[in-house]
């Protein structure tokens, strides 16, 4: 989901255009040195960066990234800042050369994402709105960018969680500074996502709506993306497991439906025309045709059936006239016509089928009026020539 993504690429663009974004932050002022908690992150954060991102930080930087806040009776109180570091797969692939205080080893370091959490404690428990900031830079100016906020009650996340994204500057459109917008929204109860969840684009249009139960997708999720051919689609979930995807035509009727696994159809997948009539029904195993396939005329009557095995048509292929009468049967072997079995006109009268046997010979084709329209000639299953009549 969008609220789990890292938007570091956009941050990189906006930070290059503007060295610091701290003017709009709601980060509380750091506590005095005397009020700082006795938390030394030089080991924990540096080891994380070294072990996971193959980089080390200059000790002077670590003093700027130490958790800060006041304590009373050995309990955290008032405003606090917490810092974390983690590898960032979507950040710039090479070290930033102008960060002279960063020391990298000879291995490809990737990049590091720094995260800051800012909010208040009451008697050692988080309360109120906490803000999350991120920076792909690991030396001043960090240029912290607000990426989220969530409400705490009694040290548990309770209430709406907001996720922010950024649009890079676009001088062509006259936008000289990055623009921030709410890209995700969900509701939390005791730290677990429950109830409605939303995703938005930069114009505030709703792209995704659905329901979460115990942190998992449940029921129908609606998606809308104007860049897609159909404009919108739905997904159906059971306890976080996707069980069906439904695509729509522009007129709102179902275009196709079935289960997708990593964008690959699995199981029975059906397609419909804009009038809502079934025109194709195929069976897949993780994106590969495997099982019966049924094709239909635009009025819904059967047109052809065949069976696939591991992506190739094998077995009996049956064609139908528009009135439902069998038009012809051919044995197929690895997608190749192999043996002609039968041929009929729309009234069920048997017609000459051709000489095709074991992949070699002729195959006669008739129209819905029973008239011969073509003869195909094969050798070892490969089409050599089509003779039109």
Domains and CATH numbers, the chain: 1-200 (no CATH), 218-305 (2.20.110), 314-389 (no CATH)
9 three-state secondary structure: helix
What does the alpha-carbon distance between residue 25 and residue 43 come to, in Å, rounded to a whole number? Answer: 28
Mean pLDDT, to the nearest integer, of 362-369? Answer: 89
**More confident call, 45 vs 118:** 118
Highest mean pLDDT among 39-43, 217-221, 261-265: 217-221
Predicted pLDDT of residue 159: 93
Q: Is residue 68 predicted with pLDDT exceeding 50?
A: yes
How crowded is residue 154: how many other Cβ atoms within 10 Å of its Cβ? 11
289, pLDDT greater than 60: yes
What was the pLDDT predicted at 148?
Answer: 96
- 205: its two tokens: 């249009």
Task: Measure the CA–CA gap between 145 and 271, rounded to whole angstroms.
Answer: 45
Q: What's the pLDDT band for 21 if we cut at 50, 70, 90?
A: very low
Mean pLDDT, to the nearest integer, of 244-272? 90
Looking at the chain, the number of H-run helices and the number of E-run strands are 3, 27
Q: Which residue has the higher pLDDT, 265 or 231?
A: 265
Question: Of 224, 267, 273, 223, which Cα lies nearest the Cα of 243?
Answer: 267
pTM, 2 dp? 0.64
- Name the nearest CA neighbour of 154 among 187, 180, 121, 131: 121
Alpha carbons 207 and 295: distance in angstroms, whole number: 33
pLDDT of residue 51: 41
For the chain, what is the mean pLDDT?
79
pLDDT grade for 232, boundaries at 50, 70 and 90: confident
Least confidently predicted of 111-120, 267-276, 309-318: 111-120
Strand 206-213 vs strand 75-87: parallel, antiparallel, or unpaired?
Answer: unpaired
Residues of the chain with pLDDT > 70, as a percent, come to 75
What pLDDT, on a 0 to 100 scale, did the predictor assign at position 114?
80
pLDDT at residue 388, as a whole number: 92
- How much is the pLDDT for 174? 73
Using DSSP's 3-state secondary structure scheme, residue 3 falls into: helix
Instruction: Label residue 305 by pLDDT band (50, 70, 90).
Output: very high
Residue 169 vs residue 229, higher pLDDT: 169
User: Between these two residues, 142 and 78, which has the higher pLDDT value?
Assistant: 78
Asked if residues 344 and 351 have their Cβ atoms less than 8 Å apart, the reply is yes
Confidence of residue 107 (pLDDT cuts 50, 70, 90): very low
pLDDT score of 12: 35
3-state secondary structure at position 67: coil
What's the length of the chain?
389
- pLDDT of residue 125 exceeding 60, the answer is yes
pLDDT of 287 > 60? The answer is: yes
């Amino acid at each position: 989901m969008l609220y789990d993504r890292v938007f570091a690429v956009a941050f990189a663009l906006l930070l290059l255009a503007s060295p610091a974004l701290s003017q709009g932050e709601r980060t509380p002022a750091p506590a005095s040195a005397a009020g700082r908690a006795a938390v030394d992150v030089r080991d924990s954060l540096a080891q994380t960066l070294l072990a996971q991102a193959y980089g080390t930080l200059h000790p002077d930087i670590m003093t700027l990234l130490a958790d800060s806040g006041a304590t009373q009776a050995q309990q955290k109180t008032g405003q606090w800042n917490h810092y974390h570091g983690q590898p960032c797969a979507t950040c710039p692939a090479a070290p930033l050369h102008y960060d002279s205080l960063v020391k990298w080893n000879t291995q490809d370091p990737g990049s590091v994402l720094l995260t800051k959490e800012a909010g208040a404690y009451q008697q050692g428990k988080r309360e109120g709105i906490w803000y999350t900031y991120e920076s792909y830079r690991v030396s001043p100016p960090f240029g912290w960018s607000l990426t989220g906020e969530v409400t705490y009650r009694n040290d548990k996340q309770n209430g709406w969680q907001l996720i922010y994204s950024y649009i890079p500057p676009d001088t062509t459109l006259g936008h000289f500074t990055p623009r921030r917008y709410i890209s995700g929204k969900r509701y939390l109860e005791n730290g677990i996502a429950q109830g409605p969840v939303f995703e938005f684009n930069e114009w505030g249009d709703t792209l995704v709506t659905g329901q979460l139960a115990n942190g998992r997708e449940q029921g129908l999720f609606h998606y809308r993306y104007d860049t897609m051919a159909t404009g919108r689609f739905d997904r159906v979930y059971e306890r976080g497991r996707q069980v069906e995807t439904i695509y729509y035509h522009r007129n709102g009727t179902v275009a196709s439906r079935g289960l997708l696994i990593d964008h690959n159809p699995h199981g029975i997948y059906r397609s419909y025309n804009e009038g809502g009539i079934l025109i194709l029904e195929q069976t897949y195993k993780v994106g590969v045709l495997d099982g019966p396939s049924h094709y239909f005329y635009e009025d819904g009557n059967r047109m052809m059936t065949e069976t696939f095995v591991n992506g190739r048509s094998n077995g009996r292929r049956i064609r139908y006239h528009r009135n439902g009468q069998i038009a012809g049967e051919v044995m197929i072997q690895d997608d190749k016509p192999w043996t002609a079995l039968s041929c009929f006109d729309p009234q069920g009268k048997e017609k000459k089928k051709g000489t095709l046997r074991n992949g070699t010979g002729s195959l006669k084709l008739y129209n819905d009026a029973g008239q011969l329209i073509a003869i195909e000639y094969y050798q070892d299953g490969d089409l050599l020539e089509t003779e039109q009549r």
